[in-house]
A and B are shown apart, each in its own frame.
Chain A
């Protein structure tokens, strides 16, 4: 999964926990996500992490529902069949329509798919493309805002997880993880560890150690 520019997980920079309405900076900076301007000052709109030394003012949220954004890779489950396709639950506010013509395999209730988000309208409804159907496997729910850390820089965390558990793995930006084969119990534990410590440094090293059965200090 690709990282978006404003969501880059910067592991070396100093970060602080900010609350909604907290001043991020009164300097002129480029604005990233989850900030707003009032009287020339930049404030956080959410509970999250801010990076004071960054040239962009932005906040990485620590919680919150998944809202689709263009190019997100997501996991969905077919929840309703319609005349010419299906409605797919993507763990967000609205389900997405999927045309039966857009996939080769038959869509049934409960079918697991992966897809990319093509466009999103102002009511947070999404159009999907590049849909693939999955057979078997299980879905693990994780906190959507922690997903970038489960992927890591250039997919580093993802490789560590795959290697350490032997799982066939796809992490959806929407907080649903598809996993098949391998040690999924171990995977769940590793994902929970990432969720709990997502705001700390050297997480990849720590997760790697955990998967190798070493004690995490």
Chain B
């Protein structure tokens, strides 16, 4: 955490504390099909964040009274490993994890043809092994890959990214130092890039509408980059076999 009385210049000569430009993502690595026992899976590294996702289903939703005869359910479980934060995290899921699980699952629902699977559930299990701001965005981006890897019919991939403000500057993909700025605003946002629909949007911090306009534009540009990386990761699963040939 940044020291309270220490003045940090969050953007200096166009560069941020970690050397990135205002509209630059941290380095990202994606891989699909990493867990043989899951129907679909993905591993994602996003800066220091490390995320593993496994998808099971569609399968019959149990208990039966949770079933929806019109469409399948997405049951998203977001958890952080005890060692994934500076202090040891209590292994019991907290309120934050419950809320993130709820909104992340909802962020994926629109992208899936859930009407094909009445009374069924798609279980998405996600574990964060290391974190440094933006783990829910990393989680949704990875989960969308795992669902595609599971062969579950989708309208589009879902990309998520954080945008916000630090030291008065609107920036893309905040890291922990930037998230701890005194005037920090953090906006996780998930987008279906093809139709430009927003499926997750949260914010905390003080923000004007003009600033939001600027931030949302940055978010859409960031998600376009993410979508390309996702497509590449999915194709790569099959292209590697070709190279071996």
Contacts and interface: CB of A to CB of B under 8 A. Distances in A.
B152 to A, nearest CB: 7
A21 B154 contact: yes
Interface stretch (B4-12, B112-120, B131-139): B112-120
B187 to A, nearest CB: 24
Contacts, number: 85
A145 B151 contact: yes
Interface stretch (B52-60, B80-88, B164-172, B175-183): B52-60
Contact of B235 (A19, A20, A65, A93): A19
29 contacts: A19-B148, A19-B230, A19-B234, A20-B111, A21-B194, A34-B153, A36-B155, A38-B155, A45-B113, A45-B153, A46-B148, A46-B151, A46-B154, A63-B150, A64-B39, A64-B151, A64-B152, A65-B39, A65-B58, A65-B151, A93-B59, A93-B117, A94-B60, A123-B120, A196-B241, A197-B241, A197-B245, A200-B241, A200-B245
Interface residues of A, number: 28
Interface of B: 39-40, 57-60, 69, 111, 113, 117-120, 148-157, 192, 194-195, 230-231, 234-235, 238-239, 241-242, 245
Given A17-B239, A197-B245, A47 B149 contact: yes
Nearest to A216: B245
Nearest to A34: B153
Contact of A123 (B111, B118, B150, B238): B118
Given A63-B40, A200-B245, A122 B153 contact: no
B154 A62 contact: no
A20 B148 contact: yes
B154 A20 contact: yes
A124 interface: yes
Given A124-B117, A199-B238, A19 B157 contact: yes
Interface of A: 17, 19-22, 34, 36, 38, 43, 45-48, 61-65, 93-94, 122-124, 145, 196-197, 199-200
A17 B39 contact: no
A199 B245 CA distance: 12
A17 B238 contact: yes
The 9 closest A-B pairs by CB, nearest first: A64-B151, A21-B156, A20-B154, A63-B151, A45-B153, A19-B234, A17-B235, A123-B118, A47-B148
B145 to A, nearest CB: 10
A19 B155 CA distance: 10
B40 to A, nearest CB: 7
A62 B40 CA distance: 11
B228 to A, nearest CB: 11
Contacts of B118: 122-123
B151 A62 contact: yes
Nearest to B153: A45
B238 A20 contact: no
Contact of A20 (B58, B119, B156): B156
A78 B165 CA distance: 60
B149 to A, nearest CB: 6
A36 B154 CA distance: 10
B153 A46 contact: yes
Given A17-B235, A43-B194, A196-B241, 6 more contacts: A21-B111, A22-B231, A45-B154, A45-B155, A61-B151, A63-B151
Contacts of B230: 19
Contacts of A22: 231
Contacts of A124: 117, 120
Given A45-B113, A93-B59, A200-B245, A20 B39 contact: no
B231 A19 contact: yes
B59 to A, nearest CB: 6
